[in-house]
Structure 1
Amino acid sequence: MELKLDRPIVFFDLETTGISFSEDRIVDVALLKRHPDGHEEIFESLVNPGISIPSEATAIHHITNEMVRDAPTFRVLAPKLLELFDGSDVGGFGVSRFDLPMIAGEFKRNGFLWSTEGRRVIDAMKIFHRMEPRTLGAALKFYCSKSLEGAHRASADAKASAEVFWAQLDRYPALPKDLPGLHEFCTSMDLKFVDPEGKFVWSKDNKACFNFGKYKLVPIETVAKRDPSYLMWLAGEKRSSTEVIDICTNALRGRYPDKKG
């Protein structure tokens, strides 16, 4: 579908030394400016952050200190970026939560005025989350390529639930192969969540643990000490909630969730 624009829109993305808006810096910036007549301008540049890039960050975006050593600083790039943003709306994937506050902070630190005031912000991640529901019908379509007929009638929903389950067993070989194992897999999700997203749960001894992936039920503190790049990866995921990002950031600094009561 062709969208009629009444002014340009700039889609942009950043790579950084980390996820702290106050302490971390931009190391890579890319902008795509779409004009109302359809033509596009693309600008991208590595950025010398003025601080060392942590190895955990390099493991995610593969940008090294050597690569940015001779790159322009943000202060040098700022006039060009302001020119591209001028009179434009802004967009991107997850920009509302990370890219916009990060770049606004960089402009401010370097003595330039820039904000989203008067701009329309289009976040493709928010559209994705609202338009791709997590319902039984959506699951049947995803796993079985079928449409749910007679939704919200018990017989149709029961049949669809069973079909989804059998299809999940085929799709995910790592799932337990017996009912006791599947029971444990499912009920472990009912542990009290540390965050609203359910990425972390409290263990029986009140330690915050991962609730997914290769470190499922492993304490955050253990992962922070043994594999900090995993926390960096999760915090850098644009789908991660603010709460998850905060938990990861604090853990990388030696501060871990404390269960009250």
Structure 2
Amino acid sequence: LQSKKWSIAFITLKLSRNFGHQNALLAGLEYAAHKCDCAISIDCDLQQDENMFDEFIRKYQAGSDIVLGIRNDRHTDSLFKKQSANVFYDFMALMGTKVVKNHADYRLLSAKALQLLGAYKESNLFLRGVIMDMGLKIDRVYFDVKPRSMGESKYTLAKMCAFALNGITSFSVAPLRLVSVIGFVFFIAALLFLCYVLYVKFWTHDAIFGWASTAILLCFFSGIQLLSLGIIGEYIGKIYTESKRRPRYIIEDIKVYEGDSME
């Protein structure tokens, strides 16, 4: 670059509709896959420290294909945001999903990583899990989050829960195994209760039971069944979405803004 002229170009991709945050990010990464040696993704709210780009590049030049940007702390977040984020990461780890605490989508991907990213064709995209699944060399850069200069975060608790559910069901079968464990536990409990009923029937004179115990058991086990069906249904819904093979995003327009030439 020192002996050649080069210019800066700003490129924007306009999608035909809102395909979601993860798919929009994927569109930019796939567009850049064959046009660069590496790419850095950063949120547009500019809370992530863009001054760390040089450190990302140094880690890349040292041989890392993936460099994760990890925030040092959450002092800029509200108490509710801090607690909900901690619960999010802890729950994801408990369910067997590979995530790095306090890492969002501020990262560097090498050209090799970008090409591998194109091999992941699932519609229910969870980039944080995909990145950790590649098996490439990973390094980390730590940064301080800057206060939000304007506006408010649109990442509500409902969106965070939906994001966590998508990540868990996309990369872990732990909930299905949990259903099996719950089913086994309550099967044993049912056998013990059956033994108790037979004991009362044949060895005591208290064979008449009240409606309360029956109603409680029916409601309890019905709730467990509905919960289990809901978890299984979530996975079936994922299979249904994947089977349709619809495009994850549609680029409506690409605009290129040429900057000044430099040496």
- What range is the shorter-chain TM-score in? under 0.3
Task: Please tell me whether Structure 1 or Structure 2 has the larger radius of gyration of its CA atoms.
Answer: 2
Structure having the higher helix fraction is: 2
